[in-house]
């Protein structure tokens, strides 16, 4: 069985991974246009400015799209099926991630489902994942 993928931090993503290790989701924001940026990079994809400042994101968002993967990549067989979701954060950027703590069926996952970030430890890297926020504001 193959090992699971572990990201390798780069100069542009170093802060992202350092803060994730502390259990916080941080994003770059363009000082020129004020928009959040994801994935971390050295320039703003909106206005092409190169003055980016890191800030702590809310870690909350909604499911914008998803698939339920029944045919996993090598190293992920024990997790199948699992949800791969596109999350729209409150800050206006999208992240592709896994949705945890929810039944892996089309009836349990829906567009607009409120979620919050949690972190999965994998070989020294804390990976941002998301879980559903229930109607009372608690995770579940």
- The pLDDT tens digits for 27-77 are 999 999 999 999 999 999 999 999 999 999 999 999 999 999 998 878 777
Q: Are residues 64 and 44 in the same domain?
A: no
Q: Are residues 69 and 28 in the same domain?
A: no
Q: Are residues 68 and 130 in the same domain?
A: yes
Q: What is the pTM of this model?
A: 0.87
The residue whose two tokens read 């045919």 is 71
Q: Give me the domain span that covers residue 22.
A: 10-57
Q: Are residues 50 and 64 in the same domain?
A: no
pLDDT band at 24 (very low <50, low <70, confident <90, very high): very high
Which residues contact residue 41 at a Cβ distance below 8 angstroms, ignoring those fewer than 6 apart?
Answer: 12, 28
**What is the domain-level CATH number for residue 99?**
2.40.50
CA-angle at 59, arms to 62 and 96, nearest 5°? 55
Q: Are residues 50 and 69 in the same domain?
A: no
Q: Are residues 69 and 31 in the same domain?
A: no
**Closest to 100 (Cα-Cα) out of 78, 115, 88, 90:** 115
Q: Are residues 51 and 97 in the same domain?
A: no
């Amino acid at each position: 069985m193959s090992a699971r993928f572990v990201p390798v931090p780069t100069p542009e993503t170093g802060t992202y991974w350092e803060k994730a290790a502390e259990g916080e989701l941080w994003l770059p924001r363009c000082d020129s246009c004020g928009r959040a940026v994801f994935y971390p990079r050295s320039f703003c994809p909106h206005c092409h400015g190169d003055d980016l400042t890191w800030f702590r994101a809310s870690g909350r968002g909604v499911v914008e799209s998803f698939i339920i993967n029944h045919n996993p990549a090598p190293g992920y067989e024990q997790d199948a099926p699992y949800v791969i979701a596109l999350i729209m954060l409150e800050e206006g950027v999208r992240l592709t991630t896994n949705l945890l703590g929810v039944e892996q069926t089309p009836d349990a996952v829906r567009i607009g489902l409120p979620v919050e970030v949690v972190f999965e430890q994998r070989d020294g890297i804390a990976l941002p994942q998301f879980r559903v926020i229930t109607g009372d504001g608690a995770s579940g």
